[in-house]
Structure 1
Amino acid sequence: MMEQSRRTEQVLLVQRLKRLIVSFVFCLPMSLLGLLLMLLLIYNSFSVFSLHLVPTSPIQSTLSPTHLQILHHQTSTSSSESDSSLLLVVKETSLGFIQKQNVSSTRTERKMRRFKRRTELTSAITQRLQVKSRQVFKTKFKSFLSKSSCESLFFMTWISSIESFGDRERFTIESLFKFHPNSCLILVSNSFDCDRGTLILKPFTDKGLKVLPIKPDFAYIFKDTSAEKWFERLKKGTFSPGVIPLEQNLSNLLRLVLLYKFGGIYLDTDVIILKSLSNLHNVIGAQTVDPVTKKWSRLNNAVLIFDKNHPLLKRFIDEFSRTFNGNKWGHNGPYLVSRVIARINISSSSDLGFSVLPPSAFYPVDWTRIKGFYRAPTSETEAKWLRKRLTHLRKNTFAVHLWNRESKKLRIEEGSIIHQLMSHSCIFCNSSSLHLS
């Protein structure tokens, strides 16, 4: 009974305290009551939007080698040093400049982080570093030509990693020298101008074939062309390089300026040469022809043959600099040469001194049908078609563009068109390159 009495008294006491507190609150002036409520709201806001920051180490770049390609090294060792630059190709999704932190995100914070990433992406394209002299390209290039007797001058570009240069790319060089043994090849590449690149090319140099891997000096190469100002704007970050890999667009521009400055023959690394190109001058190849008008409907820039200072090349370079768009595939490459020449009428083309060759010259098979060139015949009907196709190719075709984007994973079957073309164009014919998987 006593225990129950104590509990009853405690309950009554709590009830009296509640009534007392309520009475006190309602007796307060309304202004004071409002102030208390406001303080409670402020406290609640601070508790909701407060950030718990975890201490972090200094921010460091976490770009992986697979997402980072060095495109250009340049500097000056003179007393009045010029700005050096290192162009970097970066996938925005791989940026590691901002470390993940254990924070509560708000819309404002997310916007700030996106803005910071965009800013860092732009700055990453034009990092300033001290490297070798700008005179290296000029000196090395001229020294090579002075020591070499070149019947023809070929250019190729490789602005990817050296690891991605495989047997198929090497075979392009092989077929080039098969029909042009006294020519010179300038392989413009950051990744190849090293001991490993020299080792890859050693089978050619051991045969006395003349090939020079060399890092591009864009400032020197682009000088005194409209590409020079475009490149300066790129380094300053005044426009976006776009979503298309920058190295792809630099290659499109580089081939044009190299031919304009020095003249010669440019080849993509997915081309097989079938016969000598020495008798071709100032030509570009059509990729497709309109079936009704029989006129070309699209050109391509995988094979270009032009004299030094050719006016059409200048128009190409000016068009690139004026209409550059890094977000549209082909806009600065095949579509560019097509646009420029489409604006030139037939009489002007003869005045400018160039010719458009039919698709059979360099692009005898469309990219949508390239798979058929890699397959061996499975019937007598297919074998008959293959023999007829080979006869036509050997008669009318100078080179075959292999459309590497579509064919790089295709297996070369023995007896296929590609296998037989390679057997015809090889230098190291006992190597495994004829049986690529």
Structure 2
Amino acid sequence: MFSMYKGCLFIGTIMVCGMLYIFGSLDNYEYIKNFFRPSSSRIKNYRNVSNIIVESGIMFVETSDKVEPTPLTVCSVESAAWLNPEKRIYFFMKEFSGNLTQYPQPDYAGIPLLSSISNVDVLPLNPTELFEDTPLIAWYQKVNPNAERYWTHVLADGCRLALLWKYGGIYLDTDIISLKPLPFANFTCLEDGSFFNNAALGFHYIHHNFLLDCMKDFVANYIGHVWGQQGPRLITRVLKQWCQSDNPSAFTGKECNGISLWVTRRFYPIPYSNWGSYYNHWKKEDIERYFSDTYGAHIWNYMNSGRKRKVTAGSGSLLEYLFQMHCPTTYKTLVQ
């Protein structure tokens, strides 16, 4: 009993000395004080992407010149964050400086809202740095963005591959509202009867060979003016090789060489041709039944780019319901 008492006393002494040492340094004291400060008041300042440690998490990318994200984008990030609290959520923005103090309220709403969520990091996106040590760097150094018809989309196609290859995790488009917690696995999802989309991809460990094959195909078969050539068409081309089949959709609901090929309803329950349904009125019981097997609802915002339809408070639309249920802070702040 006495020896146990001495052991406990010894351990306690070490712990006290350790705490005195930590708090004896002003820098360490400031770090601890900031770490336990509520997330809404914690200012994260990322000036150099090289100094950021990216864990395996859920990633979103904004490759346009926008600095203020749309309500749909904010909703997508928020919904992923609240449903996956144990994971880091990364929102990479090409035009974001990395200094949150440059985007104060009320001039900016989206960035302050997202940065207040404890497991969300808003980060600058540097494509040159991201593509280093990947097959995409040679393409990026030669391509002329001004001559590209779908530049922001093609750049996003490349960024998601490089991010997943370097860091692992899950990539989601900024118009996918998460409805359920996401399992971390190697997966892609069938969009329709023939193509697998790249709007939702998961590869839970770094340097996966499938992603390396995708980046090589991206460069070898690059056609910038063909919609989806570096996106769904690319994923489907590489799957044909990976599965050794001209019809990889036959593996839907199964695994193909270690990659789960998920059924369409996981992310694309409403096809792009019927995208307007998100702005129609739905009954609650119909929504719960229809989306019961869905991890994330792809809203097909590109189809809306010419019409610019928005979620509005009191409309009773399906999209309003998804905002209310899965990104309530975004709904309250940016919609109501």
Query: Per the shorter chain, which TM-score range?
Result: 0.7 to 0.9
Partner secondary structure for residue 329 of structure 2: coil
Partner residue in 2 for 1:358: 263
Do the aligned residues in 1 keep the contact of 2:114 with 2:122 (CA within 8 Å)? no
Partner residue in 2 for 1:161: 65
Instruction: Give 1:257 shift.
Output: 0.8
Amino acid at match of 1:310: H
Q: 1:317 to 1:387 in 2, by over 3 A?
A: same
Partner residue in 2 for 1:71: none
- Answer with 1 or 2: which has the greater Rg: 1
Q: 1:162 to 1:174 in 2, by over 3 A?
A: same
Partner secondary structure for residue 308 of structure 1: coil
Instruction: Give 1:162 shift.
Output: 2.6
Q: Deviations 1:167-212 (Å, cap 9, x if unpaired)?
A: 1111111111120223222222231234445753223333433313
RMSD of the TM alignment (CA)? Answer: 2.7
Amino acid at match of 2:231: G
Q: Percent identity of the aligned residues?
A: 23
Do the aligned residues in 2 keep the contact of 1:171 with 1:433 (CA within 8 Å)? no
Amino acid at match of 1:138: S
Partner residue in 2 for 1:305: 202
Partner residue in 2 for 1:123: none
Partner residue in 1 for 2:325: 424
Partner residue in 1 for 2:311: 412
Do the aligned residues in 1 keep the contact of 2:243 with 2:257 (CA within 8 Å)? no
Amino acid at match of 2:270: V
Instruction: Give 1:228 shift.
Output: 2.3
Q: 1:319 to 1:346 in 2, by over 3 A?
A: closer
CA distance in 2, matches of 1:202, 1:429: 11
* 1:201 matched to 2:128: no
Partner residue in 2 for 1:342: 240
Partner secondary structure for residue 332 of structure 1: coil
Do the aligned residues in 2 keep the contact of 1:168 with 1:433 (CA within 8 Å)? no
Q: Deviations 1:248-274 (Å, cap 9, x if unpaired)?
A: 211111110110011011111111000
TM-score under structure 2 length normalisation: 0.72
Partner secondary structure for residue 309 of structure 2: coil
Instruction: Give 1:243 shift.
Output: 3.5
1:218-367 pair list within 5 angstroms: 218=128, 220-234=129-143, 242-277=147-182, 279-289=183-193, 297-306=194-203, 307-345=205-243, 352-367=257-272
Q: 1:276 to 1:363 in 2, by over 3 A?
A: same
Partner residue in 2 for 1:186: 90
Partner secondary structure for residue 252 of structure 1: helix
Instruction: Give 1:324 shift.
Output: 0.7
Do the aligned residues in 1 keep the contact of 2:150 with 2:225 (CA within 8 Å)? no
1:385-396 pair list within 5 angstroms: 387-393=285-291, 395-396=292-293
Higher relative contact order (CA closer than 8 Å, sequence separation 6+):
2
Do the aligned residues in 2 keep the contact of 1:360 with 1:397 (CA within 8 Å)? yes
Instruction: Give 1:423 shift.
Output: 1.8
Partner secondary structure for residue 192 of structure 2: strand
Do the aligned residues in 1 keep the contact of 2:167 with 2:206 (CA within 8 Å)? yes
CA distance in 2, matches of 1:242, 1:161: 16
Amino acid at match of 1:320: F
Amino acid at match of 2:289: T
Do the aligned residues in 2 keep the contact of 1:242 with 1:325 (CA within 8 Å)? no
| Count of residues in Structure 1 that have an aligned counterpart in Structure 2 | 272
Partner secondary structure for residue 344 of structure 1: helix
Do the aligned residues in 2 keep the contact of 1:423 with 1:434 (CA within 8 Å)? no
CA distance in 1, matches of 2:269, 2:188: 14
Which 5+ residue runs of structure 2 have no aligned equivalent? 1-46
Partner residue in 2 for 1:115: none
Q: Alignment partner for residue 122 of structure 2, among 196, 212, 224?
A: 212
